[in-house]
Structure 1
């Protein structure tokens, strides 16, 4: 039986605001929110599912903020089903693993992802994508599927990995961030549906945290769009 603690909720609300702001601006907010969940009394499977619930609410806000500003390439929307299905598959894999093994994997993945995003200092995009070649389309489709699966299984760092990927394919930073929000939205929803069906979401924490993430995600997305972001700066 899961226990409710007010101090844990307030701690998660603060982590949710900061994490959603960071995630909307540069990606990687899950490196804040998931460790926060794991620092509470919530078991690891419920931490993953509850974090996915809150992140999904923030992802909706981020996506529509970028989309209304015209910072999402319409061609990327075709890749959203791949992220959705991949995430659902990843969540099912997480469900099938024993909790102790899952916790070890999650902790190791958190450390590895944090090190990677800290060391990845500069991936400059060309600033334009004139045409979608076959190799680009295949590469982005593979990225959508595998990072969608990663997001459903684990989550933190997905936004940063997607931004790096879109920068590699030639997008400027803000459009890369907008494209990331589209795929992130799909993978968050895919994973969330799987976790809900599997009964691995603790709504007493996830729902209020998600409400706070709406505010953080909106402010973070507006900040990134307004600043245009300096691609020579570190992406963490």
Structure 2
């Protein structure tokens, strides 16, 4: 325990906290926490599977803090979305299982294909953001989509929340509601995936804890910023983030 405390209060611990903080803010606002978290952790020399496991832990804790806040404020009903939580959790477990079996290069290929597909959807959506949509206009959710995204999230992750946000926006949910549902899915898929990684013994608590604490702080800061985000910013920023995520994954493939 003493060794862990020394790791948490070290310069490396502060760097990991900062990475978690920035990643969570970006994740809450635009669903792209992995764009900051994954490459940053790899940059400081953390192995890929440990990076993914820590990412699931930190993102799951961050999303849980948001979900608890949403439920307390009466914005979300866990009973209403129980089936979505279950489906996402199973997707996360399955994704983690595949990640352990697959090589890093194959994981990057899957990530690249998924991101390109989602990027095309965003570009083809002329009415992606509908601020004034009423709840009665929301379209039914096809749970196969969140399940598929959760598999990707459990095994790799970057861009998964952004894919969910895009999906809910296309189903005529307002942006804030899309973020809330995405945080539920992120919590569920990350929890399922993390538990699988934990029982395989690849979780490093010296890394996971400072990143998670930073993620919790960042998630609350992100929620405070959301009301000030203008629709036109979202319409421009979502495709840009997708583009850079694709560039990041492609660059990993050609190394």
Residues 1:127 and 1:69: Cα distance change in structure 2 (over 3 Å): farther
Task: Tell me the SS of whatever aligns to 1:156.
Answer: coil
Residues 1:111 and 1:222: Cα distance change in structure 2 (over 3 Å): farther
Residues 1:13 and 1:92: Cα distance change in structure 2 (over 3 Å): same
Greater shift, 72-81 or 188-197, is seen at 72-81
Residues 1:111 and 1:143: Cα distance change in structure 2 (over 3 Å): closer
Match of 2:107 in 1: 105
Match of 2:154 in 1: 152
Match of 2:81 in 1: 76
**Residue 211 of structure 1 pairs with residue 213 of structure 2:** yes
Contact 1:87 1:153 in 2 (8 A): yes
Cα distance, 1:119 vs structure 2: 9.8
**CA–CA distance in 1 between the matches of 2:222 and 2:165?**
15
**Residue 44 of structure 1 pairs with residue 17 of structure 2:** no
Q: Normalization by structure 1: what TM-score?
A: 0.82
**CA–CA distance in 2 between the matches of 1:38 and 1:165?**
29
**CA–CA distance in 2 between the matches of 1:114 and 1:214?**
30
Residues 1:85 and 1:187: Cα distance change in structure 2 (over 3 Å): same
Contact 1:65 1:218 in 2 (8 A): no
**CA–CA distance in 2 between the matches of 1:13 and 1:114?**
30
RMSD of aligned residue pairs (Cα, Å): 2.9
Residues 1:196 and 1:30: Cα distance change in structure 2 (over 3 Å): same
The within-5 A match list for 1:172-183 is 172-183=174-185
Match of 2:246 in 1: none
Cα distance, 1:48 vs structure 2: 0.8
1:20-44 CA-partner distances (Å, limit 9, x unpaired): 1111222111110011111122211
Residues 1:70 and 1:142: Cα distance change in structure 2 (over 3 Å): same
Contact 1:72 1:182 in 2 (8 A): no
Give ranges in structure 2 of 5+ residues lacking alignment.
1-6, 242-255
**Residue 127 of structure 1 pairs with residue 129 of structure 2:** no
Greater shift, 124-133 or 193-202, is seen at 124-133
Task: Tell me the SS of whatever aligns to 1:174.
Answer: helix
Residues 1:146 and 1:112: Cα distance change in structure 2 (over 3 Å): closer
Task: Tell me the SS of whatever aligns to 1:232.
Answer: helix
**CA–CA distance in 2 between the matches of 1:96 and 1:31?**
23
Match of 1:163 in 2: 165
Cα distance, 1:50 vs structure 2: 1.4
Matched pairs, number: 224
**CA–CA distance in 1 between the matches of 2:77 and 2:133?**
13
**CA–CA distance in 2 between the matches of 1:118 and 1:56?**
28
Q: Normalization by structure 2: what TM-score?
A: 0.77
Task: Tell me the SS of whatever aligns to 1:170.
Answer: coil
1:120-174 CA-partner distances (Å, limit 9, x unpaired): 47721362231776xx24x2x1112101111101111111111111111111001
Cα distance, 1:78 vs structure 2: 2.7
